[in-house]
Structure 1
Amino acid sequence: MVIVESINHIIEELVKYIPDVVYDYIPESKISRSLLIGAATGALAYLIFKKRYRLPPGPSKWPIIGSTVLYTKGSLAKKFLDLSKKYGPAFTLYFGSSRIVVLNRIDVINEALLTKGAHYSNRMILYSTKVMLKNGDDIIFSNYSTEWKLRRKIAGRAMRLFMVGGSFNKKLEEAVSKTVEAMLKEKEPFDPKNYMFFTTLNILGAMVFGTKYDIDDEEYLTFLNQLEGISSAQSAGMFIENVFPPARLFPSKRFRQFTDLLDQFMDRIDTHVQRIRKTFKPGNITNFTESILQAEKEIKDEGEENMADYKSIHVVSTVFDIFLAGNDTSRQTLYWALMYIAGLPDVQKKIQDEVDSVVGNDRYPTTSDRENLSYTDAVLHEVMRIGTVAPVGVPHMTSCDTTIGEYEVPKDTLIFINHWGIQNDPDNWEEVEKFKPERFLDKDGQMAPKPENWLPFSAGRRVCLGETMAKPELHLILAALCQRLTITLEPGVEVKIGPMVKGLTIVPTPYKIVVQERIKA
């Protein structure tokens, strides 16, 4: 009571100094005046007693818009790395009124993701995300919770069941052989981007649903157009519906297109899931959807208490995650890889010599060959270092007030992990701009322990679910393409081999290739 009376006294004293022209607008009635003073008292009390945090330092912010660096041209990841040299490994930015803390060094990243993982494992739940998942909960975009851990547990077991089931190698060989066959039909230099999409989508379709596509199949082309449309709509920038709720009553044309494509895509996934569910026989796993159903049954039989929280929509949303994350990241990684393989003939020759020595030419590489394809694996690691597909990953959000180093981080703060930054910081790597696969090998030419600053799949509770599938998939695709083809850049066209900043992203310099057959498929 004493505090309130003191604040009222302060307000009364401040009113004395209000200019007459302003004072004329203050209501004269005692009730109106009391309401005004009460509102001012509340506002001042909030400002006085609002908790102050010792936030990581950062550039100044502007009212309404926040930090201008978020709106200027150039790669966010590059700008974040530059800012870290001035403000330190953790710094604070603002997107409007939303607080962002960016982590740019492996020690603070490990503190957040490993030491204090539960504090840093939430997500920012956007309206567009809720629409995307039909208000269901998935694994990538949902908050860390008991229900999330169950979904993750089922998906993780499903991944392991599928990888040891024996069909992985066969499905990969079928998909890559179709890609090789289609690429060899090209008689002029061509952009390989669509073929990398064909490879990864064919593999995903085969692995998840047991389907097989030719490059002109109607369903493949439908999947292609839907995924491209969804990606294009998202990359065009933030939906106004996310930040201005009234706009949801009259959604923009872009948002309507986005939701229409999502509805079609999710319905297609649901149709496949229901088809597989009807014919599924426990113990007989031929695709990833069946492995989810098997894992679901096993965990239920083990007496998992929370199985009532696991619904049919969660199978669909898990498959959706695999398609959304697995397809886009894999095809982009392969697109980066082909640029370096075509542009650096010595690198390609070393891969081909290794594959010829280990595998020969009468079969495709398999998972059992991986440990002996070290140089090819090192090339993949170097591609993923320079060509970081998700430069700042999927943003995290703090679930409680916490700390990072010597600083405080409030609850509901967005956390960006600068994956590209730690993988391309000259302080972390020698000859950082040089494509140098040997940096990942030991003196005997075998894969050395993973460098701590190589983190394309993130770490901790939100580590990429598909890592156990993506690494062998990309490794073997790369080996198989080099085994079957000789790949060169378009003759007479000079291409700068390396990354190019395009808008806020870092992408390969545009290029075209020519392929020649080495070994008949």
Structure 2
Amino acid sequence: MMPLQEFPKTPIQLSFLYLMNILCFCLNAASQLMSFIPNCFNSRILVLFRVMFSLPVFSLLVNTLIGVALFWLVKYLFYTIKRIYQLPAGPWGLPIVGYLPFLGDHVYLQFDQLSKKYGPVYCLKLGKHNVVLVCDWPHLKDAISNDALLARPHEALVTGVYDTRSFVEMSGDPWRQHKRLSLHILRDVGLGKSKIETLIKEEIDQFLTTLDNNSEPLDFSRRIGPSISNNVAILLFGHKYDYNDPVKIEMDRAQNVFTRLFKFAGILAFLPWLSKLLIFLGKLNLDIIKQNLIIVDKFIQEEIDRHRGKHNNTHEVVDYIDGYLEERRNRERQNISEGSFSEMVLRRNVAAFFGAGSETVYSTMEWTMLYLVKYPEYQDKIRSEIADVIGFERRPDYADRARMPFTMAFIHEVQRIESIIANNLLRRASEDTKIGHYSIPKDTLVIFNFWSINRDPKLWPNPDKFDPTRYLTEDGTKAVKPPYLIPFSAGKRNCPGEGLANLELFLYLVCMVQRYRIKVEPRTELSFEAVFGISRRPANLPAFIFEKIVH
């Protein structure tokens, strides 16, 4: 046996020895208590207990159960102490649930507040997971370039509803293969090419007709939502839908409900073992999330079935589903295992593209409308650029943005101040790594709090003020987007639809301001309160008036 003075005395090892002494003491105390109880009380029940305790087998069983319970307690305390020494500092939580009960609906605000107490990188226990929060630009810049932080959690995004992962939820080689294939297909069918810009312009022309309401107030969200999702539908399904199509209306409604209710930092993410029970009991809206996901899934499956029928006669690839089905056929012809390239994964991929491709643009446009009305002088500046660069006869081209710096600055400032995506999708450390000088053990989850970075006064003077001019050069001829404004994340895990989203934001904004003067009824109070699900949306969007400009 190693002499005591030679035993290694690291903090964790000393803590373990201390906890083992507690375990031995508790076992001994339990044994003494069992022999003491019958001498203190005189009742038939305790006499029965005395007889039971006198049986060697029963005594051994009780000691074993107590020993197991204490072992797990010691193990929990041991790993808690180990966490203190290995992970960044952070607040304590409760057993099993961790810090989850203390988080509200707007978790990005609480993450930001905690960073002011514990520093820009700190750790929370959320459910069974150790979660590291990154809340400043220097450490975020380090983290997004770290390949060890590209993995996703071991659990699927909506555990209890689907166990199959979309490529967004995959890690390692499956993720790389699916990302490569998806980008290849989408580029082939028009993403990043003039073809998709032409189709979006046609869609916007149709959308603008829905705003012609004789200067009467109208529900902007109900009109722009179907239009934006049509742009994504062109890439995924090869066609768009009529605004009155009942199937598409139900699909958009279901997607909208899901994105409002689903929380990245919620029960599904950190207590997945509870999700099936909570769905069954109808708690925390999880049953509603499931119902609407099933609607989306059914819609996509019907599209896949139509495409499969078409592929029996032709191998032409005009959209994402075509390209994915063709990849499956190629693998089958070459006797390559289907692996993760299943039809279920196709459904999940399409759902991810459809949701993400619609949600960010939809939310950003809602906030954009509020700021156009709140600051009519900025609306006039954008219209002045339109007059100088485009005029009021032709429709804008995306290339016009280079000569419209204030318009681009306005879009950047909406993205910054409202942090539409306030947190990233969860990442997981695939190996032991570091963020700055902070140790991040393998399988630790990592959250980037974009809200903190977008409101950091070190980066943005007077960050609570809406000020598009902060992006303009001194002579006002260029809009410069700083590297720390990353509304679509950054690095290898950035949103693949960023280019499409920026194209849409510019064209929709310019086309509306070119044609209409946008306002609300007199004495209407504008609310900038947000609701937070997958993205931050305005909680109460007023009815807008689109007054046609006559030249």
AA paired with 2:94?
Answer: W
| Corresponding residue number in structure 2 for 1:338 | 369
CA distance in 2, matches of 1:166, 1:65: 50
| Corresponding residue number in structure 2 for 1:102 | 133
| Corresponding residue number in structure 1 for 2:445 | 414
TM-score (norm 2): 0.80
CA distance in 2, matches of 1:285, 1:11: 66
User: 1:181 offset after TM fit, Å?
Assistant: 0.9
Could you tell me which runs of 5 or more consecutive residues in structure 1 were left unpaired when the two chains were aligned: none
- Pick closer, same or farther for the CA change 1:449–1:277 going to 2, 3 Å: farther
- Pick closer, same or farther for the CA change 1:368–1:452 going to 2, 3 Å: closer
User: 1:427 offset after TM fit, Å?
Assistant: 2.3
AA paired with 1:145?
Answer: G
AA paired with 1:121?
Answer: A
**Secondary structure of 2:439's match?**
strand
**Secondary structure of 1:261's match?**
helix
- Pick closer, same or farther for the CA change 1:282–1:144 going to 2, 3 Å: farther
Given that 1:124 and 1:414 are in contact with CA atoms closer than 8 Å, whether structure 2 keeps it comes out as no
User: 1:214 offset after TM fit, Å?
Assistant: 3.8
User: 1:436 offset after TM fit, Å?
Assistant: 1.6
- Pick closer, same or farther for the CA change 1:307–1:506 going to 2, 3 Å: closer
Larger mean CA deviation between 311-320 and 80-89 belongs to: 311-320
User: 1:103 offset after TM fit, Å?
Assistant: 0.8
Larger mean CA deviation between 481-490 and 416-425 belongs to: 481-490
1:79 aligns with 2:79: no
Deviation string for 1:372-425 (max 9, x for gaps)? 333222211111111212211222222333333333333333322111110112
**2:176 counterpart (129, 142, 149):** 149
| Corresponding residue number in structure 1 for 2:503 | 472
- Pick closer, same or farther for the CA change 1:447–1:308 going to 2, 3 Å: farther
Q: How do residues 120-519 of structure 1 correspond to structure 2 at under 5 angstroms?
A: 120-123=150-153, 125-126=155-156, 128-129=158-159, 131-132=161-162, 135-140=163-168, 142-161=169-188, 162-185=190-213, 187-234=215-262, 238=267, 242-244=272-274, 247=277, 250=280, 252=282, 254-279=285-310, 286-290=318-322, 296=327, 309-495=340-526, 499-502=528-531, 507-508=537-538, 510-518=541-549
**Secondary structure of 2:82's match?**
coil
CA distance in 2, matches of 1:217, 1:48: 58
AA paired with 2:179?
Answer: R
- Pick closer, same or farther for the CA change 1:130–1:362 going to 2, 3 Å: farther
Larger mean CA deviation between 386-395 and 213-222 belongs to: 213-222
Given that 1:375 and 1:441 are in contact with CA atoms closer than 8 Å, whether structure 2 keeps it comes out as yes
Deviation string for 1:48-96 (max 9, x for gaps)? 9758243211223234443377335x63222222221221111122234
AA paired with 1:392?
Answer: N
**Secondary structure of 2:522's match?**
coil
AA paired with 1:52?
Answer: K
User: 1:512 offset after TM fit, Å?
Assistant: 2.8
Q: CA RMSD in A?
A: 3.9
- Pick closer, same or farther for the CA change 1:474–1:411 going to 2, 3 Å: same
CA distance in 1, matches of 2:60, 2:17: 13
CA distance in 2, matches of 1:375, 1:275: 45
- Pick closer, same or farther for the CA change 1:304–1:119 going to 2, 3 Å: farther
Deviation string for 1:88-113 (max 9, x for gaps)? 11112223443221110112212222
CA distance in 2, matches of 1:374, 1:298: 47
Say which one has the larger Rg. Answer: 2
With a CA cutoff of 8 Å and minimum separation of 6, indicate the structure with the bigger relative contact order: 1
Could you tell me which runs of 5 or more consecutive residues in structure 2 were left unpaired when the two chains were aligned: 8-15, 38-48
CA distance in 2, matches of 1:415, 1:28: 53
- Pick closer, same or farther for the CA change 1:125–1:492 going to 2, 3 Å: same
CA distance in 1, matches of 2:135, 2:95: 26
User: 1:435 offset after TM fit, Å?
Assistant: 1.6
AA paired with 1:198?
Answer: P
- Pick closer, same or farther for the CA change 1:425–1:413 going to 2, 3 Å: same
User: 1:43 offset after TM fit, Å?
Assistant: 4.7
- Pick closer, same or farther for the CA change 1:313–1:8 going to 2, 3 Å: closer
Instruction: Report sequence identity in percent.
Output: 24
**Secondary structure of 2:167's match?**
coil
User: 1:220 offset after TM fit, Å?
Assistant: 2.8
- Pick closer, same or farther for the CA change 1:148–1:28 going to 2, 3 Å: farther
Given that 1:104 and 1:422 are in contact with CA atoms closer than 8 Å, whether structure 2 keeps it comes out as yes
The number of residue pairs the alignment matches comes to 511
TM-score (norm 1): 0.84
Given that 1:343 and 1:489 are in contact with CA atoms closer than 8 Å, whether structure 2 keeps it comes out as no
CA distance in 2, matches of 1:389, 1:34: 59
CA distance in 1, matches of 2:323, 2:402: 26
- Pick closer, same or farther for the CA change 1:442–1:284 going to 2, 3 Å: farther
Given that 2:92 and 2:125 are in contact with CA atoms closer than 8 Å, whether structure 1 keeps it comes out as no
Given that 2:160 and 2:272 are in contact with CA atoms closer than 8 Å, whether structure 1 keeps it comes out as no
User: 1:235 offset after TM fit, Å?
Assistant: 5.8
User: 1:164 offset after TM fit, Å?
Assistant: 4.7
Larger mean CA deviation between 165-174 and 334-343 belongs to: 165-174
- Pick closer, same or farther for the CA change 1:104–1:304 going to 2, 3 Å: farther
User: 1:238 offset after TM fit, Å?
Assistant: 3.8
CA distance in 2, matches of 1:131, 1:234: 12
AA paired with 2:529?
Answer: M
AA paired with 1:317?
Answer: R
| Corresponding residue number in structure 2 for 1:62 | 94
Given that 2:300 and 2:351 are in contact with CA atoms closer than 8 Å, whether structure 1 keeps it comes out as yes
Given that 2:357 and 2:497 are in contact with CA atoms closer than 8 Å, whether structure 1 keeps it comes out as yes
User: 1:149 offset after TM fit, Å?
Assistant: 0.9
- Pick closer, same or farther for the CA change 1:293–1:435 going to 2, 3 Å: farther
Larger mean CA deviation between 208-217 and 30-39 belongs to: 30-39
- Pick closer, same or farther for the CA change 1:103–1:5 going to 2, 3 Å: closer
User: 1:184 offset after TM fit, Å?
Assistant: 1.2
